[in-house]
Chain A
Amino acid sequence: SQKIEQNSEALNIQEGKTATLTCNYTNYSPAYLQWYRQDPGRGPVFLLLIRENEKEKRKERLKVTFDTTLKQSLFHITASQPADSATYLCAPMFSGGYNKLIFGAGTRLAVHP
């Protein structure tokens, strides 16, 4: 069955450093991969989408990579700030499907001043 793995442990980093979160998937080949942010007590919020033919996508301080050979996506936040503290969810999905996103359990990021 399809499986998505994200760092289960919280990631603690110092303000100003680069945070790198990992998403690994097995048993399927998604055409797209999305990243969402979830704050405590709130719903997930979309951040970035990357397609299988894209190696890298950037948006301001965010960068996502997608390696279909390794079956892995990396999510980077450069110059991290305490306001970046949240849980980050990855969600690979198929092309032509019914937008059925399958979410990883998420990685909790804590950025310390």
Chain B
Amino acid sequence: DTAVSQTPKYLVTQMGNDKSIKCEQNLGHDTMYWYKQDSKKFLKIMFSYNNKELIINETVPNRFSPKSPDKAHLNLHINSLELGDSAVYFCASSHLTRRTAGNTIYFGEGSWLTVV
């Protein structure tokens, strides 16, 4: 069974469109993340939710809006897509325990977004 699954795996869309990427984890984790990996392979955190509460919100255009209906799901909605949004978006999850920070993060397989 896939631990962190995200859909779609590939998405090609035109500039200006709105799209969503969905993510689900079955690991029982309380924290989920969205990371973006650009063409230079840098993996940058965008958002994190802990028990449906937004705890990390990096400098990301407000066209990007995460939504966590429950702690097993974290979706990413992108409005008015731009060419520069083309990248691989990774969902991830972990247990968040402040006293033992450094917990392993489990990543999904990525969603390849191409904006044309």
Closest to B45 in A: A100
| Chain B residues proximal to chain A, CB less than 8 Å | 4, 31, 40-45, 48, 50, 55-56, 90, 92, 94, 96, 98-99, 101-110
Number of A residues with CB within 8 Å of any CB on chain B:
26
Q: Please indicate the chain B residues that have their CB under 8 angstroms from the CB of A42 in the complex.
A: 109-110
Other than A32-B101, A43-B92, A103-B44, give 12 A-B pairs with Cβ distance below 8 A: A34-B102, A34-B104, A43-B90, A43-B108, A44-B43, A45-B107, A87-B41, A95-B101, A96-B99, A99-B94, A100-B48, A106-B43
Q: CA of A32 to CA of B101 in the docked complex: distance in angstroms?
A: 8
Once A42-B110, A43-B110 are accepted as A-B contacts, the answer to whether A98 and B90 lie under 8 Å apart by CB is: no
- In the complex, whether A76 has a CB less than 8 A from a CB of chain B is no
Once A43-B108, A45-B107, A106-B41 are accepted as A-B contacts, the answer to whether A98 and B102 lie under 8 Å apart by CB is: no
